[in-house]
Structure 1
Amino acid sequence: MQRYFIPNGTSSLSKNDQHHIKHVMRMKSHDHVIICNEACYISEVIIADEVTFKHIKALPKIHKRHVVLVQGLPKHPKIETTIKYATMAGVDKIILLPMKYSVVKDLPSDQKQLRYHMISKEAAELSHRDDIPEIKFVSKLEDITLFNKTYLFDELSKHMIQDDTHDPVMIIIGPEGGIHQDERDYLTSKGALSTSLGPLIYASEIAGVLAIQTLMTFL
């Protein structure tokens, strides 16, 4: 069943989603979709000049561990890979920032940020999530408040990740060039635990997704 999200602060479908219902899916009044806005419902659409809906049945909420991914900015196409698959893996928030080894130093334009949000929205629909993760951009590590459980995934670490608790967790992944020693020292001084996904080295754009899957627990 097709899933749609209500934009924050509104009670109606976006113009793009209304177009999708009418002209792409070619739905008719009384067809059923899933509408999500904090909670998800099986809903009946009413097709007129504007597409509206009526909730029929509430769906069970997915309860999962709260996971935040901090990702050092990779090159442009790789950001989209990270956002798409981190969303599908269940991340709650993605924080993107330039790090010392980032090739890309500038934060994305407003247009690119809108595109990233659309990628996340589509991935949330495909994976049948209840919500769309927040995507935030910061200019430096010092702007981030670490969690009590913060893991720095570092190729130099020999400590394999072992954590099957339900506590909120923050994951930090470096860009293509890895973690600079100054960043490593700063993060560990703030309480981040240096850890590893194993003996293999993974590309930056997928390392975060693997870390999320390793740490994700459903309640």
Structure 2
Amino acid sequence: MTPPLFLLDDLSAAKVGGQLVLTGSEARHAVTVKRLAVAEEVLLSDGRGRRVRAVVATIERGGSARGGGDGDRVGLTVLSVEDVRGADPRFVVVQALPKGERAELAVEVLTELGVDEIVPWSASRSISQWRAGEKVDKGVAKWRRTAAEAAKQSRRSTLPEVAGLRSTTEVCQLIRQAELSLVLHEDAADALTATVLPPTGSVVIVVGPEGGIAEDELASFTAAGARAVRLGTEVMRTSTAGAAALSVLSALTGRWA
């Protein structure tokens, strides 16, 4: 079984035989949820590609006698250090805001499947809307937390970037800057499976809301350089369509070879 992965912001000085310490929420999770014991192996990542395999050397329990307090500390001895390169091309999913818990599901599954960046999009037909100000900040923060947890679950060495909320105009700017941009649309003539991907750069995949992409939005995206494609004959929910598209494209690039 693959060892559990924990996030540690700074792994720049990690070297074989060296010592590292988990503190805060990651140590609390290691002690109270994973119930790590001395001599168990773990994985560590800084979220930017550095991956460390280590073994638990010491466990100090803070708070109550049963552990779980803010003073928990896990001492680790480094076994190996690896720098994982990012994949090419880079996949950017523009995700229209789903409703309720489906937003977390979309972010979670996209992260597990290897997305490089998630861009929340305020589509005109989105049932859920983040109003300007505090709600936007909370929404983005929640997506980032969900992505971090999903990255740990899937043992990813890099965290996907979660951008701030984008308008349709701002999504058009992303499309213009990308090597290839695709809009998932049920009435598109071209199949996603026939897509020829660029060897490098960024590929933008736009996923519409439950009510579908509005005609004026689709027109704006295609005018900016995007191409409409379909996944198949079935109509998927917005929370699963992006994951299905990402799976197809990952297979086409050889990421899963």
TM-score (norm 2): 0.76
User: Is the alpha carbon distance of 1:68 and 1:206 closer, same or farther for their aligned partners in structure 2, counting shifts above 3 Å?
Assistant: same
Q: Is the 8 A contact 1:6 1:14 kept in 2?
A: no
- Residue 84 of structure 2 is matched in structure 1 by 61
The alpha carbon displacement at 1:60 in A equals 7.0
Asked which structure has the greater CA Rg, the reply is: 2
Aligned 1:104-115 pairs, distance under 5 A: 104-106=128-130, 108-115=135-142
Q: Is the 8 A contact 1:160 1:198 kept in 2?
A: yes
5+ residue gaps, structure 2? 13-19, 61-71
- Residue 154 of structure 2 is matched in structure 1 by 127
Aligned residue identity for 1:51: V
CA distance in 1 between partners of 2:226 and 2:22 (Å):
41
Higher relative contact order (CA 8 A, sep 6+): 1
- Residue 24 of structure 1 is matched in structure 2 by 33
- Residue 81 of structure 1 is matched in structure 2 by 105
User: Is the alpha carbon distance of 1:52 and 1:213 closer, same or farther for their aligned partners in structure 2, counting shifts above 3 Å?
Assistant: same
Task: Tell me if 1:94 matches 2:81.
Answer: no
- Once structures 1 and 2 are overlaid, which stretch shifts more, 30-39 or 96-105? 30-39
- Residue 54 of structure 2 is matched in structure 1 by 43
User: Is the alpha carbon distance of 1:42 and 1:119 closer, same or farther for their aligned partners in structure 2, counting shifts above 3 Å?
Assistant: same
Deviations 1:52-99 (A, max 9, x none): 433211347365341010011111211111001001111011000211
- Once structures 1 and 2 are overlaid, which stretch shifts more, 178-187 or 100-109? 100-109
CA distance in 2 between partners of 1:57 and 1:86 (Å):
28
- Residue 179 of structure 2 is matched in structure 1 by 148
Let me know the Cα RMSD of the aligned residues.
2.5
The alpha carbon displacement at 1:102 in A equals 0.8
Q: Is the 8 A contact 1:164 1:215 kept in 2?
A: no
Match of 2:190, SS state, is coil
CA distance in 2 between partners of 1:172 and 1:24 (Å):
37
Q: How many residues of Structure 1 are paired with residues of Structure 2 in the alignment?
A: 219
Deviations 1:180-213 (A, max 9, x none): 1111111101100111112211111100000111
Match of 1:74, SS state, is coil
Q: Is the 8 A contact 2:182 2:229 kept in 1?
A: yes
Q: Is the 8 A contact 2:23 2:73 kept in 1?
A: no
Match of 1:207, SS state, is helix
CA distance in 2 between partners of 1:98 and 1:148 (Å):
23
CA distance in 1 between partners of 2:105 and 2:74 (Å):
32
